A and B are shown apart, each in its own frame.
Chain A
Amino acid sequence: MFLNHFEYFAPKTPAETLELVACLGSKAKILAGGTDLMVVMKAKAISPDYLIDINGVEEFKGIFCEQGKGAVIGTNTKLAEIQFSEAIQAKYPALAYAAGEVGSSQVRQMASLGGNSCNASPAAETPTPLVAMDAKVVLSSILGERELPLEEFILGVRVLDLAEGEMLTKFVLPEPKLKSACRYAYMGRRDAMEIDCVNMAVTIELEDDGEKVKNIKLVMGSVYPRPLVSKEVTALLVGQKLSDQLIEKAAEAAQGEAKPIDDIRASAEYRREIVKVLARRLIKEAYTDAKGV
C-alpha cells in the first residue's frame, strides 16, 4: 500500500507547470485532487517518476460564468465548488447535480473536475453531462493551446487524446440554448460513495414552437469504454413531437447501442435494462423542462 518513490514538483504558475509537463512528459502525472491518482498508485497500477502538484496554481481553479457567454471552469476546480456554485446550479443544473454525486463529501472537497475526466473511468459522473452539454476541453502546452470536444478527448478506459507535453487546463461550456434543458441521472446500489452501474445525461433543444425537438443528445456512462453518445436517439427524435411511444422507442434504441460488461457491480443484462429505464425517464424529464411546463 505504499507509493513508489517519485520526485515531487509544486509549480506556482501555469507557465512553470507547462514547462514541467514539457520536460517530464509521460513520466509525470498531474496531481490535482489525488482521489483517483493516489488509489491507483497505492495499488501499483501506475508508478510515475514525477508528480506535478497543481494545487498551488491559482489560474487552474475557478468558475467563470457570465450571462450569455457560457462558462469556463478551471481544471482544478473542486467538485464541491461546482456542486454548490449558484451560477452552475442555475445554468447547468445537470453538472451541479452530477458533481454532487461523486464519492463522498470529503472526496468532493479534494477531487477536481479535470481529474474526473482525465482519470478516464467509464463510470465517471461528470463527463456524461459535460458531453451532453457539448463541453470542450482546452489542452495546453508550451507551444500553445488546442480545444476539442470532451467526447473526442476521452478515448477509452484510461486513454486520452493528450499529446506529449500537453495537459488539460480548462473546460469551456457553451451557453445553453433557448428552450433547452439538460438532465442527469444515475443508477447504483446506494446514494453516496457509489460507483454508478449506469449514468446518463440528456440535452433537448426545442424548435421555436416549443413542441418539436430541434436537437437531442443522449450520453451514456458506464456502458462503454468512454461516454457513449447515442446516434439513434438523435436520428429518431429530431423534428418530432415527443409521445410516450416515441420515447419508449428511443429508449430501446439507446439500450441497443449500449455495450455494457458484467462486473462485480452489475451484470451487462441489468445495465442494459437500466439504460432503457433511465433513457425513458430522462428524455421525458428533459422534454418537460425544455417546454418550460
Chain B
Amino acid sequence: MEKKVLKSKWNLTPEGWNLEGVPSSQDEKRYTQVGRSVPRIDGPIKVKGEAIYTGDMTLPGMVYGKIKRSTYAHAIIKKIDCCKALKLPGVLAVLTGDEAPNKWGIVPQAANETVLAVGKVRFYGEGVAAVAALDEETAEAALELIEVEYEPLPVLLDPFQSMERSQEVLIHEDSKGNIMHAGEQVYGDVDKAFAECEYVLEREFHTNYPQHGFLEPHSALASYDTQNGQLHLWASSQIPHYLHRQMSIVLEIPMNKIRVTLPTIGGGFGGKGEAAPSEFVACLLSRKVGRPVKVVYDRQEVFYTNKGRHPCHMKVKMGLDKDGYIQAVDFDNTLDKGAYSGWGIVVLFYTASMIHLPYKVPNARFRGRSVYTNKPSTGAMRGLGGVQPRWALECLMDEMAEMMGISPYELKLKNAIESGHTCINNMFVPHSEFKKCLETAVKKSGFLEKQGKLPFGKGIGMAGGYYITGTAYTLYQNYKPHTTVMIRVDTEGGVTLLCAAAEIGQGCNTVMAQMVAEELGIQYEDVHVQSGDTEIGAFDLGSFASRLTYAAGAAIKMACVEINQSLKETAAGMLGVRADQLVIKNHEIYSMYEIKKRISWEKAIEVYTSINGTLVGMGNFSPPRRKGIDIISGNRVQGANIGHSPTFGFSSQVHEVEVDVETGRIYVKKVTEAGDCGTPVNPMCVDGQVEGSIMFNIGACLYEDQKLDASGKHLNPNFHDYKTPTTMEMPEMDTNIVESYDHSAPFGVKETGEGAVQPTFPALTNAIYDAIGVRFYTLPITPEMVLKALKDKKEGEL
C-alpha cells in the first residue's frame, strides 16, 4: 500500500510526525542538520590546494631553524662546539639543550624530555643543537659545522635486554631497572576462576613498531614580540592547549603571554598529540633572535622523533566455562617505551583496561611494565593502548572457539556486553549496540557460510572491538571542564562558534557546525567556525581519545540553551505567546500550539541585538568521573581510572583474504564492517573514518614496521622503505553504521575515529589462519613469514 504523502507547508520528520505540538523531550531524534552527509566545510580549499599549512606561511623578517641530530643512540655528550657554525655568514643564533633544561611531557608526573638533549642522548636522531639562519640552506650548512663529542654507552634496543642489563647501564638515572612504570591490577579471584574453567588457553603475542604516516611533517612557526614579551606560535598540533602549557613551562613565561594557533593540519593520528621539539626550538630561537622562526621537519626527522605505536610483548591467558562464558583473563604486557616517557603511563594502563570490554570478564589480572630502550619514544597512535591487546584477545578467542568446536561468532556474541554494563573495574558502558555490530558484519559478509569452507589459500576471519569516546580524566590535575565553547550571534556575523578544538582532518569543524545549526534551528552553512586558537577559543583538551564530537556536542548544546532562551523570550514578547511554548526550527520561531504565531529567526536576532547587543552563549563539558575501583572489594586500583569514558563506540569486522601460497603475499579482498558510533552526525565522515581506520591497520598488520640496526640507527626513515599500503592494496569495503542512539550522549553520539582500528589486526590474522591453517603471533605478517610458516607446516605434516 502506498504511503499517503501529506502535503503541508509545515515540515515533517522522516518518521512522518508533524513537528507541531511535540514536546521537546520527545523531539531529540528529529534532527535536520545532524545525521546528514553534508560536504566538509574545509573540503573545497583542500581539494583546490588553497589550504594554508604551517609550512606555507611566511612572516616578514622570518628566518629558518634547523636541528642537529645525534649520530649515537646512547651516549654522553662530552662537548658541543658551535663556534664555527656561529661564524658562518647568515647564521643568527645557535641553541643547545642547557639553555632550556626544563622538562616537558604530556603526563606531568612523568615529564622527562628536554627540548634538546642535556648531557646525554638516548636515541639516534635526538636533537643536540639548533641553529637559526637567514635561509634553510645556510641553516643546514651550519649544522655540519657544529662539533659534538660523544662518549658512547651501550645501546639497549629490546625491553627485555634493557631490564636485564639495567645493573650495567641506565637510560634514565631515576628509573631503576630501566622501567618507566610497572603496574598490577587484580580484580576478583583469577586463579580460582581458572581452576574451575573447562577451557583454558595461554599464548604469547608480539606486536611491531609502526608510525602514523601523516602527510604533513611536524612544522612550527614562532614569533616572539620583544616589545611586549608576547609569543605567537603556529603549529601542526592536535593539542593547542597542552602545547600552550608545555611552552609556558619550558620558556618560563606565563600562559597568558602565549598564543597557539593551528593553521590547516595535514593529519595527526596521535603523532601530534604531544608537543614536539620543532615547536620549542622555533619559540626559543625566535625569542633569541627577535625575529619569526620557522622549523619544518623533513620526513627523516619525523621518523627519528615521532612517537609511534608501542611494541608490546604480551602473554594472554583466558578461561571459559563449559558453556563458553569467559570466567577469567590474565594479561601480562611488556611495552617498549623507547627513550622518553611521553604518554607512557597512560598507554600502559589503557592496555590494562582493554581486557574488560567488549566482553564480560568477571575476573581479571593485569601485570605490565613499560620499559625504556634507546629508540625513538613510542606514544599515542590511533586507538592507543587498544590495538595490541585487542589483537591478542580476539585471536585467542578465535583459537578457543576452535577448541570448543563452535564458531568464533557464537563465542563472541555469547560474551558480548550490552547497554548498562558495569565492568569489574567500575568502567560503565551506558549504551552498546556491539551485538548488532557482530550480527551485521557476520550476516552481510556471509561469514558463517564461508569460514572453514573456502579453498586452501582463501580465508575469512572476524573480530570485534571498541574504543573510548573521550577520557574521563585530564592530565591537567585540575577539575576544569574539558571543553568550553562560545557561540556569538548577531546581525553582522550571523552565528560564529569560537573554540579551541583542533581540526586535524577528522572533520570536527564540519560536525560542530552541524551540531550548532541543529541546536539553533538553522542550516549548517550558516555557522562560522573559529577553532584551533588558544586566544580566540577557550580551553579545549585537544583532538585525541576520540573525544571531540561528544565533548564539543555537549558544550554546544549548553551554549545554545542560553541563546535559544533569549531568542524565545524576545520572540514571545513580539508574538504574544509564552516563551516555553516556542519552537525554533528552520530559521523560524513559532508556537508549538498556535502554528500561525511565528516570526523569522533573523527578525528575532535583530530585535534582540537592537536592545541588548550581541547575543553570546557559553557552554562547557566535564565528563563523569567514576573511580577505578574493584567493584567487589570497593578498593582503589592503581591506574584503573584510565580507560573510563562517558560512552564507548563499537565495531566488528570480517576480513576476506587470498594468500599467494607460492610467494607468501597476502591480498585483502574484502572487508565488511559494522560500527556503533551512536548518531552519525555526518555519515559520510564516518565512512571516511572507518575506511581510513581499516586501511591504517591493514598497513600496520601486513606492511609497516620501523627497523633499526644494531647501533639504533633507523634503516627505513622514509616512505620508500617504510612501506604503507597504497590505494592498490585497498580492499572492497562494505562499512555499515548500525542503528544506535545513546540517550546519555549529546545528540546520541559516540566515537568513530578509533574504534574501527581495533578489530583489523585480529580479523586479518584470523582470516589468514582460515586461509592457510597457520596462526601468527608476531606482527607484521610478511610474505617471508608466510612462506616460512607454510614450509614448517609442510615439514611438520610429513
Contact of B720 with A by CB under 8 A: yes
Asked if residues B721 and A265 are in contact (CB atoms below 8 Å), the reply is yes
Closest chain B CB from A191 CB (angstroms): 4
A residues contacting the other copy or chain, number (CB 8 A): 18
Identify the closest chain A residue to B784 (Cβ): A270
> How many interface contacts (CB-CB < 8 Å) are there between A and B?
43
Task: Please tell me which one of the listed residues A2, A191, A195, A266 contacts residue B729 in the complex, with CB atoms under 8 A apart.
Answer: A191
Interface membership of chain B positions 120-152, coded 1 if the CB is closer than 8 angstroms to chain A and 0 otherwise: 000000000000000011001000000000000
Residues on B with beta carbons closer than 8 Å to the beta carbon of A273: 787
Other-chain contact of A1, B298, B719, B782, B783 (Cβ < 8 Å): B298
Among the listed A192, A195, A267, A277, which residue makes an inter-chain contact with B663, where contact means beta carbons less than 8 Å apart?
A: A277
Q: Does A12 contact B (CB under 8 A)?
A: no
B783 contacts which chain A residues (CB < 8 A)?
Answer: 189, 270
Q: A2-B140, A264-B715 are in contact. Are A195 and B725 (CB under 8 A)?
A: no
Is A274 interfacial (CB 8 A cutoff)?
Answer: yes
Bitwise, A176-194 to B at CB < 8 A (1) or not (0) is: 0000000000010111111
Q: Provide the A16-38 mask, 1 if CB < 8 A to any CB of B, else 0.
A: 00000000000000000000000
Residue of B664, B726, B784, B787 near A190 (CB, 8 A) is: B726
Contact residues in B for A190 (Cβ distance below 8 Å):
703, 723, 725-726, 728-729
Distance in Å: Cβ of B219 to nearest Cβ of chain A: 15
Report chain B residues within 8 Å CB of A1.
140, 298
CB–CB B720/A195 < 8 A: yes
| Docked CA distance A265–B715 (Å) | 11
B297 to chain A, nearest CB (A): 11
How would you classify the secondary structure of chain A's contact residues: helix, strand, loop or mixed? Answer: loop
CB distance from A281 to the nearest CB of B (A): 8
Q: Judge whether B727 is part of the interface by a CB distance below 8 angstroms.
A: yes
Q: Is B663 touching A2 in the complex (CB atoms < 8 A)?
A: no
B720 to chain A minimum Cβ distance, whole angstroms, is 7
Interface membership of B716, Cβ < 8 A: yes
Residue of A nearest to B782 (CB): A189
Cβ distance A2 to chain B, nearest Cβ, rounded Å:
5
Check if B663 sits within 8 Å of A274, measured CB to CB: yes
Q: Which residues, 183 to 209 on A, are CB-close (under 8 Å) to B?
A: 187, 189-195
Closest chain A CB from B658 CB (angstroms): 14
A193 (CB) vs chain B CBs: closest residue: B726
Q: Quick check: is B662 within 8 A (CB to CB) of the other chain?
A: yes
Chain B nearest Cβ from A105, distance in angstroms: 11
Establish whether residues A192 and B723, one from each chain, have CB atoms under 8 Å apart when the complex forms: no
Q: Determine the chain B residues whose CB is within 8 A of the CB of A270 once the complex forms.
A: 664, 783-784, 787
Q: Which residue of B lies closest to A273 (CB)?
A: B787
Question: Most chain-A Cβ atoms within 10 A of its Cβ — which of B137, B662, B715, B787?
Answer: B662
Q: Is B727 within 8 A of A192, CB to CB?
A: yes
Which residue of A has the minimal Cβ distance to B721? Answer: A264
Check A266 against B716 for contact (C-beta < 8 Å). no
CB-nearest residue of chain A relative to B140?
Answer: A2
Q: Provide the bound-state CA to CA distance between A191 and B724, in Å.
A: 11
Which of B703, B720, B725, B784 lies in contact with A266, CB distance below 8 A? B784
Pick from A187, A191, A264: contact of B728, CB under 8 Å: A191
Complex CA distance for A191 and B703, rounded to whole angstroms? 12
B707 at the interface (CB under 8 A from A): yes
Instruction: Note all chain B residues with C-beta closer than 8 A to A274.
Output: 663
Q: Could you tell me how many residues of chain B have their Cβ less than 8 Å away from some Cβ of chain A?
A: 25
B136 and A189 form a contact (CB under 8 A) = no
Q: Which residues in A have their C-beta under 8 angstroms from that of B784?
A: 266-267, 270
Q: What's the least CB distance linking A195 to chain B, in Å?
A: 7
Taken together as a complex, chains A and B put the C-alpha atoms of A75 and B496 apart, in Å, by 58
CA of A187 to CA of B786 in the docked complex: distance in angstroms? Answer: 15
Contacts of A267 in B (CB 8 A): 784
Q: Which residues of B contact A2 (CB under 8 A)?
A: 136-137, 140
- The proximity string for B residues 337-372 relative to A, scoring 1 for CB distances below 8 Å and 0 otherwise, is 000000000000000000000000000000000000
Q: Which residues of A contact B727 (CB under 8 A)?
A: 192
Chain A residues near B719: list those with CB within 8 A. 193
Smallest CB–CB gap between A84 and chain B, Å? Answer: 18
On chain A, the residues within 8 Å of B721 by CB distance are 264-265
Complex Cα gap A161–B388 (Å): 52
**Across the two chains, which residue of chain B brings its CB closest to A197?**
B783
Q: Give A1 to B136 CA distance when docked, in angstroms.
A: 10
Interfacial chain A residues near B726, Cβ < 8 Å: 190-193
Q: Measured between alpha carbons, how far is A267 from B787 in the docked complex, in Å?
A: 12
Q: How far is the CA of A1 from the CA of B300 in the complex (A)?
A: 10
Chain A residues, Cβ within 8 Å of B703? 189-190
The chain A residue with its CB closest to the CB of B719 is: A193
A191 to B782, CA, bound (A): 15
Residues of B within 8 A of A193 (CB): 719, 726
* Cβ proximity bits B632-669 to A, threshold 8 Å, 1 near / 0 not: 00000000000000000000000000000011110000
Residue of A nearest to B727 (CB): A192
In the bound complex, what is the Cα–Cα distance between A266 and B716 (angstroms)? 13
Chain A stretch 95-151: residues in CB contact (< 8 A) with chain B? none
Quote the shortest CB–CB distance from B717 to chain A (angstroms).
Answer: 11
Encoded as 1 (CB less than 8 Å from any A CB) or 0, chain B from 711 to 742 comes to 00001100111010111110000000000000
Cβ-defined partner of B723 (8 Å) among A187, A189, A277: A189
CA distance in complex: A1, B727 (Å): 28
B707 near A264: Cβ-Cβ < 8 Å = yes
Q: Which residue of A lies closest to B726 (CB)?
A: A192
> Cβ of B140: which chain A residues have Cβ within 8 Å of it?
1-2
Q: How far is the CB of B779 from chain A (nearest CB, A)?
A: 14
- B770-792: CB near A (< 8 Å → 1, else 0) gives 00000000000011100100000
A266 to B663, CA, bound (A): 12
Interface string of B675-717 (1 = CB under 8 A from A): 0000000000000000000000000000100010000000110
Q: How far is the CB of A186 from chain B (nearest CB, A)?
A: 11
Query: What chain B residues lie within 8 Å of A187 (beta carbons)?
Result: 663, 665
Contacts of A194 in B (CB 8 A): 723
Contacts of B662 in A (CB 8 A): 277
List 27 contacting pairs A-B, 8 Å CB cutoff, sorted by A. Answer: A1-B298, A2-B136, A2-B137, A2-B140, A187-B663, A187-B665, A189-B723, A189-B783, A190-B703, A190-B723, A190-B725, A190-B729, A191-B728, A192-B726, A192-B728, A193-B719, A194-B723, A195-B720, A265-B721, A266-B784, A267-B784, A270-B664, A270-B783, A270-B784, A270-B787, A273-B787, A274-B663
Identify the A interface with B (CB < 8 A).
Answer: 1-2, 187, 189-195, 264-267, 270, 273-274, 277
Q: Which residues of B contact A (CB under 8 A)?
A: 136-137, 140, 298, 662-665, 703, 707, 715-716, 719-721, 723, 725-729, 782-784, 787
Closest 6 pairs between A and B when the two form their complex, measured CB to CB:
A191-B728, A192-B726, A277-B662, A192-B728, A270-B784, A2-B137
| Besides the known contacts A189-B782, A190-B723, A273-B787, 5 further A-B residue pairs in the complex with CB atoms under 8 A apart | A2-B136, A2-B137, A193-B726, A264-B716, A270-B787
